[in-house]
Structure 1
Amino acid sequence: MLDYDERRGTELIATLDAYFVNGASLTRTKETLHIHVNTVVQRLERIGRLLGKDWNSPARSLEIQLALRLHHLARRL
């Protein structure tokens, strides 16, 4: 998804990060990102197409959240 964001100028990583930080709440995610809720839904649908439809299952979402945290830590170094 990092490459996808970079190539297409999208903000899927930021959306996914905000979604998890906000406890999977669409309302809080849209408020955090200052975008319309439909935009959040569209981005999450695109994320689902890229990561597979099980991306928000408990086990898979944990893997993704850990990957996001590792990515943020690596950027700080």
Structure 2
Amino acid sequence: MTTSVHIAVSGNKQVLVTTQAGQTRMQPGSHHSFLVHGEGAITVRELGPFVNEVSEPLVRPYAPEDGDEAQDA
């Protein structure tokens, strides 16, 4: 069975979401549904420094950017 998990980001930091399908960068103000199947897990961590301006697209596959350092959320 597949379950849909909806994540919404508020505040002033980006987050790194890790699922069975890979890693996703989410900006403040964004929201997205992720699918989890079987024993799959979702982890969410703060990413990098405070964000003064978000960058487009708000939800995108993770690729390292300047200042990235995953932090426990």
Q: TM-score, normalization: structure 1?
A: 0.25
Q: Higher relative contact order by CA 8 Å / sep ≥ 6: 1 or 2? A: 2
Q: As a proportion of its length, which structure holds more strand?
A: 2
